[in-house]
């Protein structure tokens, strides 16, 4: 997708139709929707994640820890006051229409885990009411559908090389087979990328990705198959508060070296890591006639990995008695479960725990406001040896699902009528366990003993999801009207494999969810009005069952009622849309994370707790327009006004306060140019003030960032080479300093100016 328009002319007819489609402001449906344009894709380099391309659409705000999106922990997406972040999952994600299996950090996966950016077809964004058939049980505030590109009809090899700031590099190759058999085409791709962090250039972020896609027509059946494998190691960024940002806006308070003092080294950057492997595959079949269409697919997803932290102590599990070495220091031992009896900070050469000198006051002032005497080596006698842990939280998930849809095209009198329906069934099993490893020598490195000294807990979760939907659309001539309904049946079970807590189960079924809408053609050609209503639902997630701090009997599924009213205009030279929306969101479920700028509770039985925090009322306006000024110039702009306020009576989320992290104002202006072999573009995005906290006491300043790209594409530059392209991309051109994603009432620093150069050859 980073190829220029000239190079794209060699693609298949199906790809040309996709490219034309994504330049349209919105499909002719009864709810607000947008798709990314080629110009939006051009503004991002081949290194960026698939999420980055949607950031300029109206109502959408995407923040990532760095320009390349190489840290899932720090990724946030906001639409109409709904959030996708560490503590909230309120925006649905699908891949080629298939559910992604939750988007949370702890075992979930966003679209960038399934799709390499250079294999991206388009992204369809439904900001509110969305399609009744959407496969997601977390789509309260819209759905993001990421699609993969189709194979071309001609045999083709594409080689792409990218280099950039912060030691960034990516190697990508895609081979398109041409016609393998009658009406059968495929591609296979491989990529490897890496980069450091932008703060200190100390992190080792790596990603390897394999993918393949096949399309075929067998008789009257269209077949599609896709498979991907993604393996990442990411060093995380840390959230900070506004006072820390003001003191030093270029440092997130993680360190790049081991000091030998575990209290300080708990914020060692390469000890804050995410490891993930995702394998995803589906096979889809569709049969179409003039009167009806039947389609279905089966899919499989396997997710495994872990998250790392570096606690500044060993957990004391066994009482070894006075004068004895601590069992936790021995190799090849692993205590299962149980409650801690204390902590070990320093030991002598024989492995006996030491206590600090009486009356000693620590001089350590970093991080988290300073340490007590037990953490300070100056408060121990000479020869004291610091000890520490390397903590792993392991995640594993296996999902199997089936989708089936039908559509019947008939007539009621002289009016065209479409009846469609379908189902989605998914069965998944997830495991989570946490183990603590002894650091081999806390004085010199973060390296750890592969055998854990304590496995804190081990849990298993099973979730069955069934969704049915039915919708009828009738064309009255003067208007198209639709009425639909769907229902979710969700069963959750949680089992403590150590028997430390009772097994739990809960049904999280929805009511019958109504969806309705109308599209009215106006007297002006190309202009139409639309209105939509939808009741959306997010089932209780399985990770609610694991939280010691969550009172399950008080947790209810989240629900939302969405209304869209708008106008949409489309012509060859000018496209525009404007939407007024009103959303009532009830039973908002918020995750209380254990980490904050004030410190981390490493011993909490899980990663935090969930609580319903009342509701949210959101309303606003989304507007966008594209003007093709000449054959060479195109202008795009969008503006969003969003008013999201808390409802309910909870003291921590006062009614009437603005939802923290949500931007009240967003605006985008992009200018793109292409002539002959050359192309360039400049885009600016303004994000208005936001609140850092639910109490609305801390304001995060507005910011504006600019993205620039320029390049040249040459067809047949030398014999044997079909196309050649050289592209420069600079994100945050003016090096704006700002706070980006907000989660847990603190924020990550926005990425600085970042440049990348891509060289691509097609044979």
Nearest-angstrom CA–CA distance, 532 and 33: 11
Examine the pLDDT at 109 and tell me if it is beyond 60: yes
130 vs 280, more confident: 280
| Interval 451-470: pLDDT, tens | 999 999 999 999 999 999 99
Residue 212 structure tokens: 């393949």
pLDDT of res. 7: 34
Other CB atoms closer than 10 Å to residue 475's CB: what's the count?
16
Task: Work out the pLDDT band at 526, boundaries 50, 70, 90.
Answer: very high
pLDDT above 50 for 10 = no
- Which secondary-structure segment (H or E) carries 42? helix 38-42
Q: How many CB atoms lie within 10 A of CB 505?
A: 12
pLDDT tens for each residue of 180-222: 999 999 999 999 999 999 999 999 999 999 999 999 999 999 9
3-state SS class at 465 = strand
Residue pointed to by tokens 């994640």: 49
Name the nearest CA neighbour of 83 among 698, 616, 749: 616
Which band of pLDDT confidence, cut at 50, 70 and 90, is reported for residue 131?
confident
Task: Measure the CA–CA gap between 564 and 536, rounded to whole angstroms.
Answer: 13
pLDDT, tens digit, 9 for 90 and up, residues 581-638: 999 988 777 665 555 555 677 776 554 556 666 788 999 999 999 999 999 999 999 9
- Average pLDDT of the chain, as a whole number: 89
Q: Whose CA is closest to 115, among 95, 129, 101, 100?
A: 95
User: How far apart are the C-alpha atoms of 233 and 154, rounded to whole Å?
Assistant: 35
Is the bond leading into 367 cis (omega within 30 degrees of zero)?
Answer: yes
What are 342's strand-pairing partners?
A: 316
- Burial code (b: 16+ CB inside 10 Å, e: under 16) for 186-200 equals bbbbbbebbbbbbbb
Read off the pLDDT band of 179 (50, 70, 90).
very high
* Mean pLDDT confidence for 537-543: 79
CA distances from 616 to 79, 320, 613, 651 (A): 13, 53, 9, 14
The phi, psi pair for 698, rounded to 5°, reads -125, 120
Token digits of residue 397: 């998930």
Give the pLDDT score at 640.
96
Higher pLDDT, 716 or 376: 376
* Assigned CATH topology for domain 153-312+391-762: Maltoporin; Chain A (2.40.170)
Whose CA is closest to 591, among 102, 128, 125, 144? 102
Q: pLDDT per residue over 32-79, tens digit each?
A: 788 888 888 888 999 999 999 999 999 899 999 999 999 999 999 998
Domain ranges of the chain: 153-312+391-762
Q: Cβ distance 228 to 243 under 8 Å?
A: no
Q: Could you read off the pLDDT of 622-679 as tens digits, one per residue?
A: 999 999 999 999 999 999 999 999 887 767 788 899 989 999 999 999 999 999 999 9
- Summarised one tens digit per residue, pLDDT across range 262-284 is 999 999 999 999 999 999 999 99
DSSP 303-372: EEEEEEE--SSEEE-S---TTS--GGGSSS--EES----EEE-EE-TT--B--PPTT-------STT---
Position with higher pLDDT, 552 vs 229: 229
CA 696 and chain centroid, separation: 26
């Amino acid at each position: 997708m980073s190829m220029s328009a000239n190079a794209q002319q060699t693609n298949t007819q199906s790809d040309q139709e996709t490219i034309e489609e994504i330049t349209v402001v919105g499909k002719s449906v009864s709810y607000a929707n947008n798709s990314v344009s080629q110009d939006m894709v051009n503004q991002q380099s081949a290194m960026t994640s698939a999420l980055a391309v949607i950031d300029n659409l109206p109502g959408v705000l995407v923040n990532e820890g760095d320009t390349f999106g190489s840290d899932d922990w720090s990724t946030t997406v906001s639409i109409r006051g709904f959030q996708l972040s560490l503590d909230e999952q309120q925006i649905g994600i699908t891949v080629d229409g298939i559910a992604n299996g939750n988007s949370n950090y702890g075992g979930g996966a966003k679209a960038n885990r399934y799709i390499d950016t250079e294999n991206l077809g388009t992204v369809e964004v439904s900001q509110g009411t969305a399609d009744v058939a959407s496969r997601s049980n977390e789509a309260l505030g819209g759905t993001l559908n990421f699609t993969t590109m189709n194979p071309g009809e001609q045999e083709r090899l594409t080689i792409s090389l990218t280099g950039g700031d912060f030691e960034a590099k990516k190697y990508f190759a895609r081979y398109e087979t041409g016609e393998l058999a009658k009406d059968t085409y495929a591609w296979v791709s491989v990529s490897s990328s890496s980069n450091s962090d932008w703060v200190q250039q100390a992190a080792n972020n790596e990603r390897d990705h394999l993918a393949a896609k096949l399309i075929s027509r067998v008789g009257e059946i269209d077949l599609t198959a896709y498979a991907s494998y993604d393996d990442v190691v990411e060093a995380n960024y840390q959230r900070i508060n506004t006072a820390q940002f003001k003191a030093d806006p270029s440092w997130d308070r993680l360190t790049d070296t081991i000091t030998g003092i575990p209290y300080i080294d708990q914020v060692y950057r390469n000890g804050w890591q995410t490891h993930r492997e995702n394998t995803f595959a589906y096979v889809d079949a569709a049969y179409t006639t003039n009167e009806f269409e039947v389609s279905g697919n089966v899919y499989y997803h396997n997710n495994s990995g872990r998250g790392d932290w570096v606690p500044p102590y060993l957990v004391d599990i066994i009482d070894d008695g006075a004068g004895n070495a601590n069992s936790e220091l021995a190799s090849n031992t692993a205590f299962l479960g149980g409650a801690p009896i204390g902590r070990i900070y320093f030991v002598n050469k024989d492995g006996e725990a030491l206590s600090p000198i009486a009356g000693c006051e620590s001089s350590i002032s970093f991080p988290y406001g300073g340490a007590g005497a037990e953490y300070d080596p100056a408060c121990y006698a000479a020869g004291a040896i610091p000890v520490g842990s390397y903590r792993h939280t392991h995640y594993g998930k296996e999902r199997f699902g089936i989708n089936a849809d039908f559509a019947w095209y008939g007539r009621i009198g002289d009016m065209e009528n479409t009846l469609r329906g379908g189902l989605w069934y998914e069965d998944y099993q997830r495991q989570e366990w946490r183990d603590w490893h002894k650091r081999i020598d806390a004085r010199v490195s973060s390296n750890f003993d592969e055998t854990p000294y304590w496995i804190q807990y081990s849990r298993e979760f099973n979730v069955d999801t069934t969704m049915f939907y039915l919708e009828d659309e009738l064309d009255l001539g003067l208007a198209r009207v639709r009425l639909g309904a769907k229902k979710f049946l969700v069963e959750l079970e949680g089992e403590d494999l150590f028997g430390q807590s009772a097994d739990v189960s809960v049904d999280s079924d929805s009511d019958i969810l109504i969806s309705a809408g109308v599209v009215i053609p106006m007297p002006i050609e190309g202009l139409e009005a639309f209105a939509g209503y939808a009741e959306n639902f997010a089932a209780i997630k399985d990770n609610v069952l694991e939280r010691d701090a969550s009172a399950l009997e008080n947790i209810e599924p989240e629900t939302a009622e969405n209304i869209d009213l708008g106008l949409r205009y489309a012509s060859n030279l000018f496209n525009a849309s404007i939407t007024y929306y009103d959303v009532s969101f009830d039973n908002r479920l918020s995750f209380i994370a254990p980490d904050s700028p004030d410190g981390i509770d490493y011993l909490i039985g899980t990663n935090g707790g969930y609580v319903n925090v009342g509701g949210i009322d959101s309303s606003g306006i989304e507007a966008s327009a594209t003007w093709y000024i000449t054959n060479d110039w195109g202008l795009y702009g969008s503006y969003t006004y969003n008013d999201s306020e808390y409802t309910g009576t909870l003291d921590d989320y006062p009614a009437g306060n603005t939802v923290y992290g949500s931007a009240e104002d967003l605006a985008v202006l992009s200018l793109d140019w292409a002539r002959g072999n050359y192309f360039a573009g400049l885009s600016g995005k303004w994000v208005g003030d936001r609140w850092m906290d639910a109490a609305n006491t801390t304001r995060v300043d507005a910011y504006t960032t600019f993205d620039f790209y320029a390049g040249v594409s040459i067809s047949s530059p030398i014999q044997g080479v079909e196309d050649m392209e050289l592209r420069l991309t600079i994100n945050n051109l003016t090096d704006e300093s700002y706070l980006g994603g907000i989660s847990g009432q603190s924020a990550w620093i926005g990425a600085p100016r970042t440049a990348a150069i891509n060289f691509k050859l097609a044979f």
